[in-house]
Amino acid sequence: MNFLQSLKMAWRSITGKKARSVLTILSIFIGIAAVMTIVSVMEGMKEHTRQQYAAMGSNRINVSVYTWGEDANTPPTDYFPMLYDYCAGMKDLVDGITPRGNCGATVVYGTKTTANMEYKYDDDWNLISAPPDRLYGSDQYAACNNLKIQKGRDISYLDVENIAQVCVLGAQTAPLFFGTADPIGQKLQVNGLNFEVIGVYAPRLSDASAQQSNMDNLILFPYTARRLLGDPFSSEFIVKAKNSAVLNEVISRLAGFLKGKVNTQTGGYNVWSENQWQESENQQMTMIGLVLGGIAAISLIVGGIGIMNIMLVTVTERTREIGIRRAVGAQKSTIVMQFLIEAAMLCGFGGIVGILVGTVGSIILSRSLFQITIYPQFGVTMLAFGLSVALGLLFGSYPAAKAAKLQPVDALRAE
């Protein structure tokens, strides 16, 4: 008997016991669908994280300077001017530097005020100041944070020099205060002072992804206006390296510079790259995916045991048929091939159904969790199908071997 005849016999056997075949396929497809969905969801998490970091801008270095135990009569040290000048001396390595942080002011427009707003994840916002930009250009804060003006204009060097009472709104802050109305030229009352809205930044993420992020909930003021808002100095900064090749060098230089400026008896500093955080998060998600995938793989083993059980039942039911075939000269290898093909076909069908269900599950979960559409990778799909067929061959080998070892005389006596 050739391979094609074995396929036909396996197909007749599977279709002849439809209910049993469907239940057997279920045991495989659940495991395949679970593994595919888990892999795709983990890829969705990685892609969502990548988009978040890309939206904030690449090659960013975070610098944090903190103090404790200082004399209350001693004013805090403003590290920004010295960091600014130091980075200006590395213009071949650094594209810009900007302070970051919340200056804690209360913003009022009409009946809307941040004093009684609910601080939900989607409604969180930051009051941030733009630095002086005499060396790097007027869009230094925007450049460091991957922001582009959508409407109006950005804060200029003259705004900083003149301590102008102006501000630029983030893409999510503008509708929070003004709805669908044009905010340009409107006045926001900040700590009792009027600040004119001169611009609105474009969203850094797509509309769907932006719903899961608060990065565009910000109000940008001139750096010099911080004193008007009751927060004269920044302690956190962003330095943008020219490219990833010089990232570690810039980090090393900044750490060395701060080591000579910060009194370690009353304070400290941190310098780190968001690229490092992204790599760490990807590693953590990969580990979580492996653990979850391992748990899902247990269902495949259970399904494989189910395949072995069904094939043993099939061998028992077809013992007389096996005896007849052996009596007319069928080789043991032929008997083994027939039952292995049947087991592989059962698991292959289960794999196909699992791939379809896993694909649908991946799309639904990625859309609902991350607002992006993730399709299983072609390699993952092929691996899932190959794994299902391999399970059939592995767990079907014992029943097939048992069938081949039957003696023709004993098999013909079976009822």
Contact in structure between 43 and 293 (CB atoms under 8 Å): no
Which residue's entry shows tokens 């103090």? 67
Residue of higher predicted confidence among 305 and 279: 305
CA angle 399–400–402, rounded 5-degree value? 65
User: Shortest CA distance to 239 belongs to which of 413, 24, 88?
Assistant: 88
Distances from the Cα of 39 to the Cα of 43, 73, 139, 289, 298, angstroms? 6, 57, 40, 7, 15
Angle of helix 18-56 versus helix 3-16 axis, rounded to 10: 100
| Residue 195 parent element (H or E) | strand 193-201
d(CA 349, CA 352): 5
Beta-strand ranges (E) seen in 320-392 are none
Q: How confident is the model at residue 103 (pLDDT cuts 50, 70, 90)?
A: low
State the pTM of this model: 0.59
Backbone angles phi, psi at 105, to 5 degrees: -85, 160
Residue of higher predicted confidence among 299 and 152: 152
Q: How confident is the model at residue 185 (pLDDT cuts 50, 70, 90)?
A: very high
Backbone angles phi, psi at 111, to 5 degrees: -95, 0
Which residue's entry shows tokens 């809205």? 197
Contact in structure between 140 and 133 (CB atoms under 8 Å): yes
What are the domain boundaries of the chain? 3-52+281-413, 57-279
d(CA 168, CA 196): 9
User: What is the per-residue pLDDT across 344-400, written as a single tens digit (0 to 9) for each?
Assistant: 888 888 888 888 888 888 888 878 777 777 778 788 788 888 888 888 888 888 888
What pairs with residue 106 in β-bridges?
Answer: none
Contact in structure between 141 and 98 (CB atoms under 8 Å): yes
CA angle 303–304–310, rounded 5-degree value? 90
**DSSP, res 73:** T
Write down the pLDDT at residue 342: 83
Ramachandran class of 106: left when φ > 0, alpha when ψ lies in -120 to 50, beta otherwise: beta
Write down the pLDDT at residue 122: 38
The most confident of the ranges 54-68, 253-267, 310-324 is 253-267
* Position 72 pLDDT exceeds 60: no
Ramachandran class of 234: left when φ > 0, alpha when ψ lies in -120 to 50, beta otherwise: beta
* Position 66 pLDDT exceeds 50: yes
Write down the pLDDT at residue 57: 63
What pairs with residue 220 in β-bridges?
Answer: 128, 168
* Position 120 pLDDT exceeds 50: no
Q: How confident is the model at residue 151 (pLDDT cuts 50, 70, 90)?
A: very high
Kindly report the average pLDDT of the chain as a whole number.
Answer: 78
**How would DSSP label each residue in 251-286?**
HHHHHHHHHTTS-TTTEEEEEEEHHHHHHHHHHHHH
Backbone angles phi, psi at 96, to 5 degrees: 170, 170
Write down the pLDDT at residue 208: 47
Contact in structure between 204 and 219 (CB atoms under 8 Å): no
Contact in structure between 343 and 311 (CB atoms under 8 Å): yes
